[in-house]
């Protein structure tokens, strides 16, 4: 590293802090940046230094936005009676890039994880219920789309219980659903793990 000029070293060290980027990749990326046109670098630098100032959370769904309410929540073509609850904005993006969903979202920004001391109040769970208390009557379905791992599952169960409590208390009529588990498309039975295979058997459908 000492062989590199300081300015390049600093960029490389910064890049190394990013997830999935080690020293070699960081050096390679820094080297690549050096080859880009100066204007592109300047523009990128401006976006970086403005990033935190400009970006905030949508007041309705906690998605990232530059305004008070995000582009999904303001989109009138969206089915606002359906709310999909996801762990992160990246999960939301997966639905969006697939073009498979036309409802709205709610982003928890994490999952309940007792081993790491993350409880419901550390996530955006209380504000979900504040919203539902006001708007619950207009909601048709809440799809729990946390990840199929232990913490995601625990989060879904916690939400389900709380959502049912609220429903009983206030006489709301929303459905509470969960994403289906099963074999991924294109999978090979031979290589499927038994957890997935078991789920795909358990959730089999008439043909």
Residue ranges binding a second copy (CB under 8 A): 1-8, 10-11, 14, 17-21, 23-25, 27-29, 31-34, 36, 38, 40-55, 63-66, 70-72, 88-90, 92-93, 96-97
Nearer to a second copy, 86 or 163 (CB): 86
Q: State in angstroms the smallest separation of the CB of 182 from a second copy.
A: 23
Nearer to a second copy, 90 or 189 (CB): 90
Q: State in angstroms the smallest separation of the CB of 55 from a second copy.
A: 5
Q: Which residue's entry shows tokens 């008070």? A: 68
Fill in the DSSP letter of residue 84: E
Q: State in angstroms the smallest separation of the CB of 98 from a second copy.
A: 12
Contact 189, 197 (CB under 8 A): yes
141 strand-pairing partners: 82, 175
Give CA 137 to chain center in angstroms.
25
Contacts of residue 196, Cβ cutoff 8 Å, sequence gap at least 6:
181, 182, 183, 184, 187
Q: State in angstroms the smallest separation of the CB of 85 from a second copy.
A: 16
Nearer to a second copy, 71 or 161 (CB): 71
Burial class (CB in 10 A: 0-12, 13-18, 19+), 175: exposed
Nearer to a second copy, 118 or 176 (CB): 118
């Amino acid at each position: 590293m000492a062989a590199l000029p300081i300015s390049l070293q600093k960029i490389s060290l910064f890049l190394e802090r990013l997830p999935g980027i080690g020293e070699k990749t960081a050096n390679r990326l820094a080297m690549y940046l050096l080859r880009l046109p100066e204007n592109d670098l300047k523009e990128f630098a401006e976006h970086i230094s403005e990033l935190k100032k400009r970006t905030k959370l949508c007041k309705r769904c906690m998605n990232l936005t530059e305004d008070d309410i995000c582009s999904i929540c303001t989109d009138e073509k969206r089915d606002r009676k359906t709310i999909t609850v996801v762990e992160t904005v990246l999960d939301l993006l997966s639905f969006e890039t697939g073009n498979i969903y036309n409802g709205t979202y709610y982003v928890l920004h994490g999952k309940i994880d007792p081993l790491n001391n993350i409880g419901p109040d550390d996530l955006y769970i209380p504000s979900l219920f504040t919203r539902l208390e006001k708007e619950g009557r207009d909601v048709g379905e809440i799809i729990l789309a946390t990840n199929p791992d232990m913490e995601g599952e625990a989060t879904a169960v916690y939400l389900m219980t709380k959502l049912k409590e609220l429903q009983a208390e206030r006489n709301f009529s929303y459905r509470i659903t969960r994403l289906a588990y099963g074999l991924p498309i294109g999978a090979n039975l031979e290589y499927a793990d038994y957890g997935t295979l078991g789920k795909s058997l358990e959730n089999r459908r008439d043909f």
